[in-house]
Structure 1
Amino acid sequence: MAKENKKVFDGIYAQLEETDGNVVLFDAKGAPSVIFEMTNPVLRLCTDSERYMVFQDVLANIVQTLGEGYALQKQDIFCRQRYHRDVPEDAEFLTRSYFNYFEGREFTEITTYLIVTQEAQRGQFVQYDPKKWLDFHSKVAKVDDILTEKGISHRKLTKPEVNEYLHRFMAFHFQHGPFSMTNFKASDEYLRTGSRIIRSYPLVDIDEINLPSVVKPYTEMSVNGYPVATDVFSFLAEVPHADCVVFNQVVQIPGQRKLLRKLQGKAKRHGSMPDPSNKIAKADIEEVLNILAVDSSLLVNTNFNIIVSCPPDKVTPVTSFLETKLYECGIMPSRTAYNQLELFINSFPGCAYGFNPDYDLFLTLSDSALCLFFKEHLKGCEDTPLTTFYTDRQGLPVCIDITGKEGKVKMTDNANFFCIGPSGSGKSFHMNSVVRQLLEQNTDVVMVDTGDSYEGICGYFGGTYISYSKEKPISMNPFKVTREEYEQNFGEKKNFLKSLIFLIFKGNEAPSKIEDMLVNQAIVEYYEAYFNPFTSFSDTEREGLRQKLLVAAKMEDDYEKFATDMRDIEEQINAPEPETKTTVRALILPSEERRNKIIRQCRALRAMIVDRATTEAEKEKAASKIEVYKKELHETSMLMKIDKQIDHMEEQKRRLKVPSLSFNTYYEFALERIPQITSLEKIHFDIRDFAAILKQFYRGGELEVTLNSDLDTNLFDERFIVFEIDKIKDDPVLFPIIVLIIMDVFLQKMRIKKGRKALIIEEAWKAIASPTMAEYIKFLYKTVRKFHGIAGVVTQELNDVIDSPIVKEAIINNSDVKILLDQSKFKDRYSDIAAILGLTPIQKQQIFTVNALNNKEGRNYFKEVWICRGQNSDVYGVEEPPECYWAYTTERAEKEALKIYLRHYGTMQEAITNIEADRKRAGISNYLDFARKVNQQQKVMSLW
């Protein structure tokens, strides 16, 4: 630094004080400023152009609120940091491996400050103006209110924070941790401080303003053939070789009337000289005046300055990068920025009025100037007790609430999910990562798999891995129910058993309503017979049955039968009365006694009719009464038959015994009871077909053990259970039944155990994707929500989603969390799935940026995934350390090599640690190549 400029930094500020509820920074001329730290509201690569427009409106509102005599300064600081996270000593081995893998990784951090500055009065001395002072604090409060109302995260800096901010800016050191000052050396081209160069790149050369004729708050770049909205200056996060970049944006709001008069006079002068360039200038000025007259825009003086810190030998590539990116935006930066020290000093926070109006500021409309403000932020960690770590688009670990409902911000009502990803997209790898993190956070997980995808992670956590085989089939007793379950949740259990029986009996064909009614009634009566054995009908039950059977009898009573019955009754009335008379047996006569009494009354009335002493009127009355009695006799006869029928039903129910609960006893009960019901109701049901199809699960049948053996109760205490049923995936009968009863096991576990539970069904879900199962799957998805549960399905075929109604009705409509992996191969026919999943155009754009960015260099096995929770969606990276890769791998050769190490070292942790150390020691970067060498030797590397 030149000798006369040794104290140039001494004259920047006058004072920093806390007053009237604000920390106010005064520059050398007395202009007060208040500094907000804020988060730009637009997430980088969100692809939603509307968000940029909304923030543009917020900034415009702030500028309009501040008005004349104020400046708005915004500084976005892009600083290279190194990742660090404190990991508890008792953390799981794979968790420690995860964060150790990312330790020290470089990333760009974006910090944003918004500074409101009031213009100081011109003159040698600054005088206190109480009215102006109150107006300043009022405007600061209004800016605070606008940001709060629009939901933009922000806060005012404290006095120590402002002090640190100013010193960090002077040292141009924004990396975390301590920092120190060093000497500055200024030249026309840059500033040198220690081993770094600081250079300013003003965006506008005052002598020739090269800006695009049309500016928008965002620009578009093509990703995978899709136009994606992004910030005009998003490239500032990617400046090569730069350790820090500060984008300083300043808008001064001068007196409008004076400027308007000046512009109008300038337009007249241009119009007075008939010259093509003057005509263009006049037209431009008139267009600006028209905009000012129509819109609420303001004339503002602006300065945009990019300040970069980099090593001395990297200035040329940094300059080349910035110029290239700015040219792409239609901006040609100033090539004559020789006042480097002045530009740097005037870019200090709160120095918005320090720029020289002759060569540092250019006049434009406020709306145009605000289009050039930076508007993006990077992904951050969510505030949630349940953390699932992914990486952001630049490779930095960030945690999200995968359920969408446990975090501070509630995005969903339920945590159910479905995951779609074609083969090779990293679907199983991603699910392994999610399952690991769920298990580490006290979640009970039950998985149904068809491909050994979770054998490694199950072994690591010491879970129970149940693999189906003919020698050791998966067997359960889904009919076994405790009295407590029967009294509290029988409706749910009944629906499950009904689904199970129809799955065996009808397959994918939907049952008829009659079939549904019969099976439903048989299940209800089966459990009633077990828990409350039948002895006899109560009087109330008998009366209810009597009325029900009477209605049924009347339904069957056609005219011809009625006429025959009436002729029989007529003959009984006309028959001679027997000599032995029936005595009254009770106060309330049974139906037979009542019938005899009515007949006697009818005979007496008939005698009156034939008696000559009876008048015609009396005869007519007696005949009428006989007709009434005849109808009563008809109904009494039906009641007599019904009473006998009820006696028979009582005897039948008494004979139906259920000694224990199992498929065997249900089968026996149903084959006896269903024919009784069909006979009583006079309906058709092919009981022989029913018996024949279900017989294979009955005593002595091929599959008897499947539904008649009690499940190991210890499974309910296991935190992680994997059912591997790959060996029966082609069995059309057994496969769906096993999947279904596993789901029932999960439901029982879910009700019994406290805490979070998850059921994840991989490709096996297709076995139960039938109309028969639709209602049960809906019930499952809705029920898990009540018990702090998660239900999820994982599939790879796009057609599974498009072609299956059950996917849409039962799964998609009941899942608030959607997870999609690389869908690029389906790009040309994605409209169908987008319609079924209810994807917006913005979400479709996000999905097709998956794995399409140039962000894979220097990273381990890495795939991206799109996650939507409610309406909140974004793309995340699945990047795991080598230790996790060995635990997750589905490659058979790699799994076999790991088993060799497991046999040698005894524990999965030791096996993973040593196989990875040996791979690095051998200098083999490819996991599969090293695994093949291990398999070839059939022993660990130390024994080769």
Structure 2
Amino acid sequence: MRNTAKAATLESKFPLLTVEDGYILSKDADLSVAYRVELPELFTVTSAEYEAMHSAWLKAIKVLPNYSIVHRQDWFVEEKYKPELDKEDISFLSRSFERHFNERPYLNHTSYLFLTKTTKDRARQQSNFNALTRGFIIPKEMQDREAIQKFIEAVGQFERIINDSGFIRLTRITTDEIVGTALPGDTGAAGIVEKYFSLSQSDTTCLQDITLGAGEMKVGDNYLCLHTLSDTEDLPGKVNTDTRYERLSTDRSDCRLSFAAPVGVLLSCNHVVNQYIFIDDHTENLKRFEKQARNMHSLSRYSRSNQINKEWIEDYLNEAHSYGLTSVRCHVNVMAWSEDKEELGRVKNDVGSQLALMECKPRHNTVDTPTLFWAGIPGNAGDFPAEESFYTFIEQALCFFVAETNYRSSLSPFGIKMVDRLTGKPLHLDISDLPMKKGIITNRNKFVLGPSGSGKSFFMNHLVRQYYEQGAHVVLVDTGNSYQGLCELIHRKTKGEDGIYFTYTEENPISFNPFYTDDYLFDVEKQDSIKTLLLTLWKSEADVITKTESGEVGSAVSDYIRLIRGDRSVRPCFDTFYEFMRDVYRRELDSREIKVSREDFNIDNLLTTLRQYYRGGRFDFLLNSDKELDLLNKRFIVFEIDQIKDNRDLFPVVTIIIMEAFISKMRRLKGIRKQFICEEAWKALSSPNMASYLKYLYKTVRKFFGEAIVVTQEVDDIISSPLVKDAIINNSDCKILLDQRKYMNKFDAIQSMLGLTDKERAQILSINMSNNPNRKYKEVWIGLGGVQSAVYATEVSMCEYLTYTTEETEKLEVMRLAEKLDGDIEMAIKQLAESKQE
């Protein structure tokens, strides 16, 4: 007769009895509570904040009764990015962005905390009495009801202490989340127990075979390897709450990570970090050590090792008594897995090297893998083998907690797509609305600083494109054709209805018509801006404008508006206004009963000065555009003023028209998001004539669902300009900085001017210091109100790159190909992107 090995069922060995009201009850009468842990994001925590988190854990653990177990379980599972291509009206560039990141692998971090109440006998249980070694388990009866009630009360205090810390958030896991909601044949949500047995954090409800062999363990097709820290000989001589991360630190800044980060977010393979803290009877532990110390002393004459052990035990006792430290047992293990045996060898080496970075001795445990895997089942920490733990104090044990997690996306429908600097996973980031709702910022204004070549215009193209696609009205003032590609794409896509690009060339000079509106509506501010424009054309900056002059020009504008409203045959433009002033208003002025003297208002001088803007004059093109454009309803407008920023005649007129266009949007477009972006042009706009406009805009725009953004690259401009300091920086709660290594020696002044903290300084100086060579991106720091800040990557698809690029050769390449394709710039970008990728 052939021998057949009979496999045991999971049901016969399963250690959990029931889950009720969110409490897990094991068959050995251990009671457990499960939490989901939310941790701060990577590279955003300072040394003092790590200390505060450590202190919160310490206070919380001290409220737990004796024979409690604190079990932290951190999952790091490789997942692949799934592009969001099913959205309605997804644009060509958004689609190319999502496709660029399709299937990109990243580590997803999920952290759990299990608090277990067990008994004195269970705490001493060793691996030879584990549930795996018993034929079947007889459920035990819970006897001490008072102890259970105290534990439940302590758990409530534990949760409150941690949540009040402000750095960590514990969320109680419900019964459905523990056991799952899937019925036979149903595709419901998997519980955390099912996820544990399938080595996954996705909704898998199909349990896999578990194979236990000599020196080998498999779960489904995955081979497990286990590294343990279960002996004091394997530990470093000293542990800390945090360590310096050299790759992102400089001699002027310090980037900090938790002590356990090397086996956490920095270990790039599928793995689970388990840490157990066993709270025994502290007094009884110390008595046992006192007895051991006496025994070692009596045996010290026979062996030097006994003498050393006696000194170590006495040092431990002295620490406990001197500083009032609580004696606990601790264990840490890193369980990693892979489907490929060859790959498993690399994973094993990676785990070992990361443990070595913590100055721990990597111990690859092949014997106790099944036992420790079994003890890691949610709520089964009572099955942990006592011989695998070592004695320490709570303070030192807590240093092995993983204290940070990956970057998280904003829980907001509005935002921009950025990229996690470590893993390269796309993130949804809201830097306008959600921070306003949370009270982190009080306005949406932004200040952007980055030297030439740092990717400043590239980032801004990426930002405004996404704002535009989400319904915002964008008005851009530029001095370098940085937005020409994006504007042209929008212009062609909307068949000329949007994407308006104003620039000056000899062949096609810049041209406006401030008197034209689609609906013939001229509110007070529109009339005032026309009046200001005319006064600017008439008077020089040194001249004083009297109330009479201002009033008469305003009256002339009002009378002209009444004329064009009543007689639609009169074409609204500067020419007809000039003719109205010359022929009608001057005659009306002469016929008044109360005469206006030439000293108070010299209309002939006004007409003579404005003659150069009238038909046949030197600048007759400027205010007589025949393109009937009402900028109020155009959602993407670019004013390229590089050619005219030094022209004393044209520039003041253009700047007033720019500001009038945006202020009109700000006032009249109710409930619609508006952006005013001023690139290096702000230096030209900061003339005395325009300073008041910028100050007004920065202080007022937040009340109209708008935001003003100034972009600059020169540090000296910031330091020397009172306008930037008083009006712009003080009213910009969102600050965006790019690579500042060129300004390393000047950064103290920048930090002082922008009011940056030392934490923010360290983040900024870490930009682009450790970029992944396999990815093409540049990093950017975004700070919100001095409360929330992080460094993100600006990584885009090839199609987006060709749209945003400021390299002239690449722009010309796109435009020439578009001409061959009958002006289809989108098709040109697609074809060029495909050829470059090949």
TM-score category, normalised to shorter length: 0.7 to 0.9
Do structure 1's residue 715 and structure 2's residue 715 form an aligned pair? Answer: no
Q: What's the TM-score, normalizing by structure 2? A: 0.82
- The alpha carbon displacement at 1:109 in A equals 0.3
Which structure has more helix as a fraction of its residues?
1
Q: Deviations over 1:681-716 (max 9, x none)?
A: xxxxxx999999998668976346546779844322
Q: 2:79 maps to what in 1?
A: 81
Match for 1:835: what amino acid?
S
2:271 matched residue in structure 1 = 245
1:198 maps to 224
8 Å CA contact retained: 1:72, 1:116: yes
Q: Distance in 2 between matches of 1:747 and 1:121?
A: 74
Paired position in structure 2 for 1:223: 248
Match of 1:315 in 2: 344
Report the equivalent of 1:383: 411
Report the alpha carbon displacement of residue 304 of structure 1 after superposing the two structures with TM.
0.5
Q: What is the CA distance between 1:831 and its match in structure 2?
A: 1.0
1:134 to 149, 152, 157: 149
Residue 52 of structure 1: which of 46, 50, 53 is its match? 50
CA distance in 1, matches of 2:346, 2:511: 68
**Aligned-partner SS, 1:423:** coil
Q: Does structure 2 retain, via aligned residues, the 8 Å contact 1:83–1:102? A: yes
Structure 1: how far apart are the matches of 2:410 and 2:416?
10
Matching residue within 63, 66, 71 for 2:61 = 63
Superposition TM-score, scaled by structure 1 size? 0.73
SS in 2 for 1:723: strand
Match of 2:540 in 1: 505
Whole-angstrom CA distance in 1 between matches of 2:532 and 2:325: 66
Contact 2:675 2:706 in 1 (8 A): yes
Residues 606-631 of structure 1 deviation map (CA, whole Å, 9 limit, x = unaligned): xxxxxxxxxxxxxxxxxxxxxxxxxx
Q: Aligned partners of 2:612, 2:739: CA distance in 1, in Å?
A: 44
> Could you say which structure has the larger radius of gyration?
1
The answer to whether structure 1 residue 363 and structure 2 residue 391 are counterparts is yes
The answer to whether 1:211 aligns with 2:210 is no
Cross-structure match for 1:774? 691
Aligned to 1:789: 706
Matched, 1:27 2:63: no
By how many angstroms is 1:295 displaced? 4.8
CA distance in 2, matches of 1:498, 1:10: 91
Cα distance in structure 2, aligned partners of 1:706 and 1:494 = 14
Deviation at 1:442, TM superposition (A): 0.6
Once the 2 structures are TM-superposed, how far is the Cα of residue 224 of structure 1 from its aligned partner?
A: 5.1
Shift of 1:807: 1.5
How big is the shift at 1:73? Answer: 0.6
Residue 202 of structure 1 aligns to which amino acid in structure 2?
A: T
**Which sections of structure 1, spanning at least 5 residues, go unmatched?**
534-656, 680-686, 924-944
Shift of 1:309: 0.5
Say if 2:504 and 2:644, in contact at 8 Å, map to a contact too: yes
CA deviation digits over 1:485-544, x for unaligned, max 9?
Answer: 665788x85996699579x733xxxx6xxx66x4566424542576599xxxxxxxxxxx
| 1:753–1:238 distance in 2 versus 1, CA, 3 Å | closer
Moved more, 133-142 or 438-447: 133-142
- C-alpha deviations, 1:783-838, integer Å up to 9, x for none? 22121112112222222222322211221112111111111121122111111111
Partner residue of 1:805? 722
Task: Tell me by how many angstroms 1:115 deviates.
Answer: 0.5
- Given the superposition, is the C-alpha separation of residues 838 and 765 from structure 1 closer, same or farther in structure 2, using an over 3 Å criterion? same
Asked whether 1:397 is paired with 2:434, we answer no
- Pair 1:15 & 2:17 matched: yes
Instruction: Indicate how the Cα distance of structure 1 residues 196 and 241 shifts in structure 2: closer, same or farther if over 3 A, else same.
Output: farther
Note the alpha carbon deviations across 1:14-39, whole angstroms, 9 max, x for none.
31221xxx322223421111111121
Matched, 1:746 2:662: yes
In 2, the alpha carbon distance for the partners of 1:705 and 1:903 equals 28
Equivalent position to 1:914, from 828, 831, 838: 831
Is the contact made by 1:404 and 1:869 (CA closer than 8 Å) also made in structure 2? no
Q: Which amino acid aligns with 1:900?
A: R
Alignment-derived partner of residue 455 in structure 1: 484
Amino acid at match of 2:258: D
Q: Distance in 2 between matches of 1:12 and 1:412?
A: 51
Does residue 821 in structure 1 map to residue 819 in structure 2? no
Counterpart position of 2:259: 232
Kept after mapping to 2: 8 A contact 1:75/1:247: yes
For the aligned residue pairs, the C-alpha RMSD in angstroms reads 3.8
Amino acid at match of 2:248: V
Whether 1:351 and 2:380 are equivalent positions in the alignment is yes
1:97 alignment partner in structure 2: 96
Q: Which amino acid aligns with 1:95?
A: S
What amino acid is aligned across from residue 794 of structure 2 in structure 1?
V
Distance 1:128 1:856 in 2: 61
Give the stretch that moved more between structures: 429-438 or 405-414. 405-414
- CA deviations 1:310-355 (Å, max 9, x no partner) are 2211333323222222222221133565322222222222232322
Aligned partner of residue 225 in structure 2, secondary structure? strand
Q: What letter is aligned with 1:246?
A: V
Q: Is the 8 A contact 1:218 1:371 kept in 2?
A: no
Distance 1:167 1:748 in 2: 59
Determine the structure 2 residue equivalent to 1:144.
Answer: 159
Distance between the aligned counterparts of 1:775 and 1:498, measured in 2?
17
Retained in 2: the 8 A contact 1:195–1:312? no
**AA in 2 matched with 1:16:** T
CA contact (8 A) 2:533 2:656 kept: no
1:884 aligns to 2:797 (yes or no) = no
Asked if the contact 2:67–2:118 (Cα under 8 Å) also holds between the matched residues in 1, the reply is yes
What's the offset of the Cα at 1:4?
A: 8.9
- The Cα offsets for residues 185-213 of structure 1, whole Å up to 9 and x where unpaired, read as 3323x41344432011112335x243232
The Cα of 1:250 is off from its aligned counterpart by 0.6
Contact 2:458 2:804 in 1 (8 A): yes
* Cα distance between partner residues in 1 of 2:455 and 2:398: 42
The aligned residue for residue 303 of structure 1 is 331
Specify the SS of the correspondent of 2:505.
coil
Out of 503, 510, 518, which is 1:467 matched to? Answer: 503
1:159 aligns with 2:175: yes
Check 1:287–1:217 CA distance in 2 against 1; reply closer, same or farther (3 A cut). farther
Bigger mean CA offset, 116-125 vs 409-418: 116-125
Which residue of structure 2 lines up, in the alignment, with residue 868 of structure 1? 783
Cα distance change of structure 1 residues 108 and 673 upon mapping to structure 2, 3 Å threshold? farther
In 1, the alpha carbon distance for the partners of 2:748 and 2:605 equals 44
Structure 1: distance between partners of 2:26 and 2:523 = 78
Aligned to 1:422: 451
Q: 1: CA distance between counterparts of 2:151 and 2:534?
A: 73
In structure 1, the residue corresponding to 2:676 is in which secondary structure? strand
Q: Is the partner of 2:453 in helix, strand or coil?
A: coil
> Equivalent residue for 1:605?
none
Structure 1 residues 92 and 485, CA, compared in 2 at 3 Å: closer, same or farther? same
- The number of equivalent residue pairs is 766
> 1:697, 1:705 within 8 Å by CA — same for their partners in 2?
yes
Structure 1: distance between partners of 2:325 and 2:555: 78
User: Tell me, what secondary structure is at the counterpart of 1:43?
Assistant: coil
Offset at residue 63 of structure 1 (A): 0.3
Question: Kindly, what percent of the aligned residue pairs are identical?
Answer: 30
Please tell me the residue identity of whatever aligns with 2:218. R
| Runs of 5+ consecutive residues of structure 2 not aligned to the other structure | 123-137, 180-190, 492-498, 561-576, 590-594
Task: Name the stretch that deviates more: 440-449 or 226-235.
Answer: 226-235
CA contact (8 A) 1:36 1:115 kept: yes
Q: Which moved more, 1:346-355 or 1:831-840?
A: 346-355
Residues 264-291 of structure 1: per-residue CA shift (max 9 Å, x gap): 4445555665898777666655554455
Distance 1:90 1:700 in 2: 48
1:830 partner SS = helix
Q: Name the SS for the 1:36 alignment partner.
A: strand
Equivalent position SS for 2:97: helix
Displacement of 1:375 in angstroms is 0.8
| Structure 2 Cα separation of the partners of residues 418 and 660 of structure 1 | 44
